[in-house]
Structure 1
Amino acid sequence: MDASADATALIPWELVGTITPPGLLSLVIIMILTGRLIPKATYDAAQRARDQWQRTAEMLRETNQVQAQTIEKQTSVGDTVIKVMSSLQKGGGEET
């Protein structure tokens, strides 16, 4: 459910025609205090922060993927070095 549906649920529609200016002001104050009504600048700042976090998370995901590929390559190089060293030890390791 989106925020606008939540805000409209708070409005007593049967009393809208009879609501007085102080009643309307009270309703707005209650909505502000409960976080149902926020300034557009605050909403925009929250959206920008959310978008920044999403971009950062995507960048970290890509970095982790590259690191995983690099580690895999290094592991295969390490295995090759171990095999070469083992064969040198088995062969006596004599230099000519």
Structure 2
Amino acid sequence: MLQGGAAGLLALVVLLILTGRLIPRRTYDDVREERDMWRAAFRESEAARAVEHEHAVTAVEVGQTAVQVLRALPTPEGWTMLRRIRAWCGRSRRVTPGQQAARSALYRAECDRLEAEGRAPVAAEVARELRALRVENHFAERIRLSLEGGR
């Protein structure tokens, strides 16, 4: 037969064991059992995550619908329901002097903006007249310079 057959076969078996290609049956069964356990845990986790995702999507849709409904409901004073709820929630807080000053400045700025918008047509007319005068003066100056021998 083969020379050194038993010794070669023993060397091959030892080599396979040392490289990890040949393992005992018990180790193989343990690894297989652990693999199956992790697969089951993963599938269960994915199923739970899918259910959570469905619930989150539903909750977001319900929240968006509620916000739209609250925004659409006017009250007698012209406030929307969402603004009224925000006002009710904020009633317990006191307004600081800085907040009062900021509100006052904002009110004054809004009044000034409305006043400026009211003056816009008059300002546009004055600007148009000034442009026309500048063009007339420009040409008059050029004519005067050309008559005097300048450029």
Is this a same-fold pair by TM over 0.5?
yes
Matched, 1:84 2:69: yes
Structure 2 equivalent of residue 42 of structure 1: 27
Structure 1 ranges of 4+ moved more than 6 A: none
Structure 2 equivalent of residue 30 of structure 1: 15
Which protein is bigger by CA-based radius of gyration? 2
- Listed one character per residue, the Cα deviations across residues 16-74 of structure 1 (whole Å, up to 9, x for unaligned) are x4143222211110010111110001110110111011101110110111011101110
Distance 2:8 2:64 in 1: 77
Q: 1:54 aligns with which of 36, 39, 46?
A: 39
* Matched residues, number: 77
- SS for the counterpart of 1:37 is coil
Unpaired runs of 5+ residues, structure 1, are: 1-16
Distance 2:38 2:17 in 1: 26
Percent identical pairs in the alignment equals 32
What amino acid does structure 2 have at the position aligned with 1:40? R
Distance 2:70 2:18 in 1: 71
- Give TM-score scaled by structure 1 length: 0.70
Distance 2:58 2:65 in 1: 11
RMSD between aligned residues: 1.8
Which fold has the larger relative contact order, with Cα–Cα distance below 8 Å and residues 6 or more apart in sequence? 1
